[in-house]
Each structure stands twice: as C-alpha cells, then as structure tokens.
Amino acid sequence: MALLQLYSSGLIFTPQKALNRGNFVRNPPGWLSKGPKVEETWSPELQTVGGLSHWVWSVAFSQDGQLLASGSDDKTIKLWDPTTGALKHTLVGHSDSILSVAFSQDGQFLASGSDDETIKLWDPTTGALKHTLEGHSDSILSVAFSQDGQFLASGSHDKTIKLWDPTTGNLKHTLEGHSDWVRSVAFWKDSQLLASGSDDKTTRLWDPTTGALKHTLEGHSDSIRSVAFSQDGQLLASGSDDETVKLWDPTTSFLMQTLEGHSDSVWTVAFSQDGQLLASGSRDRTIKLWDPAIGAVKHTLEGHSDWVRSVAFSQNSRFLASGSYDKTIKLWDPTTGNLKHTLEGHSDWVQSVAFSQNSSGISPLAPSTYSGCWRY
C-alpha cells in the first residue's frame, strides 16, 4: 500500500478520537469531500464468532490454548481455532442441550454434560467419542477434571455430584448433601479438594478421594451459579444470582471479599492462569475483569446482546472466551479488554466453552446434531 493510501485510510476509517486522526484531520487530501460515519473510539472487541442459531451455554480452552470448545442448545460441541476463529470440528452425539464442557489437563479428553442426563468423553484431536457416562437421573449442569487426571466430577439437577474415572468411565463416588440443584463443580490445584455450588445457596468443599464433606460455605443470599479456584489454590470464587462474586480462602473457609458491580445474576466465574485476573459473566450482558487481590474492576467488556453464560481463559492468558445466549462466542484480550474475534456457527444458545490445554483451539458446546472446533 502506498504512503498516500495509508494516510488517507487513516483519516477516513479511524475513530474520531484516534491519535493519528487528531494529528492530521486538519490536513485532509484535496479530493476528500466527506468521509464515512465512524465510531468515536476504538472498539474493545477483537473478534466475534458468529453463525450460531442457538444459545451458547459453555466455553473452555484446552491447556495448550490451541482449541476452544463450546457447547450449545443445538446439541453439538464445536471446536475452534481461537487465533483465526476457524471452526475445526463439530461433535454430534447428545440428544439434548449441552450445558457444560471441559478439557482434561493432558488434552486427552474433552468432557460434555447434557440435558440428556449423560456425560460424553471425546478425543478432541479426532472428534471421536470415547465413553458415555450414565448414572445421573437429571440434567448435568457442570463437568470438571482434576489436574492429575484421576477424576472427572459432574454436578446435576438431581442434587448430587458424581466422581468418575475418565480413563475407564467407571463411577467412583456419589456425593450427597446439597438440597437443590448442583450448578457448578471445580477442583483445587492438587486435587485434594472439590468445590460445588448449588441452588441451596451454599458452596461445599469435599475430599474427592474419600467423598467426605469438609466444609460448607455460607454467605450468598441466592443460588450459586459458578465456582472456580485460582491456579495457586489461594482463592475460591463463587458467582451468584444475588449479583455478587465472593472470594473465599478454601483452606479456612473464611470470606475474603465480596465483589459488587453487576446489575443482574452472575452466571460464570474464571481465574486467569497467573491469578492476576478474575472474570465474571452476567445476565446483565457484560463481562467484568477484576483484580482479585484488591477487588477492583479493571475492565467491563460489552458486546454481547444477550446473557453471558460462560467465560474461560486460555492457558497462557492471551485470550478470554465468552459464550452467550446471543449464540456467539467472543474472544477478548484480557489485558486491554479489546475484542479479538467473534465466533459464529451454533444454531442455538452456547452453554459452555473450553480451551484445549495447548491453546490452539476452542470448543463450544451446543444442543444440535453436529459439532465443531475452531482454531485461533
């Protein structure tokens, strides 16, 4: 591109308050009589993944960051390349909405939990189905792998948590104690603790080896939608319908902070791998990025046109993925808050998203009859 073309394009297409526009706007080329209408400032959105006709319930990155998975009401899981936004695979097999997706730490498995009361374990590289786990008597709302790969946990409408051996598909424990739906499960760093969040307004901490209950955390005034541990195990976050996020010390059960700022239910929480950021997604259609050390909001990410159902950081923290009822997955730069990609392809809500462990792809879960994977 010639220098004159760059100069002219900068004046015509950059936002009104961009520095380069301000420096040269008084010296337009003679042939330019009127430019197009442009935004006032640069948009924080980097990319939107579109083409989905159903809600996105869940998103998750693989550990290497090479894949992003998303689960949706279209009954499919999609695997994406988060760098380019390209769809790699569409996984088909569930007979109802996919509510949660998760990658194992070693990248060998992708788990999906569904309204069809089953959990499916997939090979994320080939898209092949490896196991179908049956045992719950109602919808599976959340799935999570332990870091050592010994356990897969599932939380359900049936008020129980089940612990499975992901290699064999065998059931190891059924944890009972919650008096309402179990909406979220998460493992501590060394797999010595399992957290569960429930509509009974409590978070419970369990010993996954024995199945024993260790602590019950109380403080929220409404259903708990999501729980997540920081990578170093120092903090446990819980997001609730009471519009707050609470930060707990998982070893003492002490409430450290209550984060306020959302104007509706907080449906999803996730820590960055370095522990410097906490993301929360809400029914208010925004994602907030917090400094968990002081409880301050660093960025508020706007761009979704419907409720934000799921958020996930890539392993290297280069990307934050968000899945929404607007049927899209958005990829953000968590450092700047800028939007990088919008991924489209689901035909219903995106319920869950997950990154592969090598961060080369993203997998979305959806309730349709096909499944896909995007590379980024």
Q: Where are the domains of the chain?
A: 1-42, 45-375
**Residue keyed to tokens 């919008």:** 342
The pLDDT value given to residue 15? 58
The pLDDT value given to residue 46? 47
pLDDT above 70: percentage of residues in the chain: 77
The pLDDT value given to residue 72? 87
- Express each pLDDT in 339-367 by its tens digit: 999 987 766 666 666 666 554 455 544 43
Class of domain 45-375: mainly beta
pTM of this structure: 0.82
Question: Residue 25 corresponds to which tokens in the numbers above?
Answer: 């706007």
**Of 122-131, 139-148, 362-371, which gets the smallest average pLDDT?**
362-371
**Of 93-102, 257-266, 363-372, which gets the smallest average pLDDT?**
363-372
The pLDDT value given to residue 1? 43
Burial call 70-103: b when 16+ CB within 10 Å, e when fewer: bbbbbbbbbbbbbbebbbbbbbbbbeebbbbbbb
The pLDDT value given to residue 16? 59
Question: Residue 33 corresponds to which tokens in the numbers above?
Answer: 């009589």
**Of 52-56, 144-148, 178-182, 356-360, which gets the smallest average pLDDT?**
356-360
- Express each pLDDT in 195-235 by its tens digit: 999 999 999 999 999 999 999 999 999 999 999 999 999 99
> Is residue 114 over pLDDT 80?
yes
Question: Residue 20 corresponds to which tokens in the numbers above?
Answer: 């380069």
Long-range contacts of 247-256 (CB under 8 A, 24+ apart): 247/278, 247/292, 247/295, 248/203, 248/217, 250/188, 250/193, 250/195, 250/205, 253/205, 253/215, 253/217, 255/217, 255/219
Distances (CA, A) of 154 to 116, 160, 179, 291: 14, 8, 16, 29
Confidence of residue 308 (pLDDT cuts 50, 70, 90): very high
